[in-house]
Amino acid sequence: MTRTAFPIFALCALLAGCGDGALTSSLGSDAGATLDARAVETGVLPNPDKIEFAGRFETRSDLGIDKFCAVKTDANRFDIGFLAVFGPESKCEGTGAASVKGDEVEVTLNGKGNCTFAARYDGIELRFAGAVESGCASYCSEKASLSGTHYFMIEPGDSAARNTLGREIERLCG
């Protein structure tokens, strides 16, 4: 072992020995759950039992403002609308329904073709699946796709959702 390698090896061995013991001794054996609970208590993470899905969502980029809205119709069911902007003439836009169970959201679009896909919602960000069925292309102009689009909750509540404007669809959740 060279003179330079020894201090690096010793430091790595020392850090490896400190790893789990220090964390589990202060937080218990389920450190991840404890950290999540503390983050919820302090408001850093949303409380998963009190997540509100109804509302207005947006994502801003140089291409425009992507929009999503959800109006509660039943315990875990919502009427939804969305607009994903890819430029002045390129977009995806549609309406449909969603059912929510925990952080899983099943989206079904209606009107132009069969389109059902999974999304995830953590109380802050809604993420559409990275791959959606081929029928979803009927909601998009050429060279646009709703795969992998995402939206951030900006205003909770049904009334905020009903004020979400689209391009061809005047009110996405109206």
Dig out the tokens for 111 from the structure.
Answer: 């009107």
Mark whether 128 and 58 lie in a shared domain: yes
Q: Tell me the whole-structure pTM to 2 decimals.
A: 0.74
Mark whether 99 and 148 lie in a shared domain: yes
CA distance 86 to 66: 9
- Could you tell me if 161 and 71 are in contact, meaning their C-beta atoms sit under 8 angstroms apart? yes
Mark whether 84 and 102 lie in a shared domain: yes
Looking at the structure of the chain, the number of domains it has is 2
Q: What string of pLDDT tens digits covers the 174 residues of the chain?
A: 555 555 554 444 444 555 554 444 555 568 777 886 787 678 676 666 667 899 999 999 999 999 999 999 998 999 999 999 999 889 999 999 999 998 999 999 998 888 999 999 999 999 999 999 999 999 999 989 999 999 999 999 999 999 999 999 999 998
Mark whether 22 and 69 lie in a shared domain: no
- Of 54, 41, 40, residue with least CA distance to 154: 54
CA distance 28 to 15: 19
Domain residue limits at 38:
5-45
- Could you tell me if 126 and 105 are in contact, meaning their C-beta atoms sit under 8 angstroms apart? yes
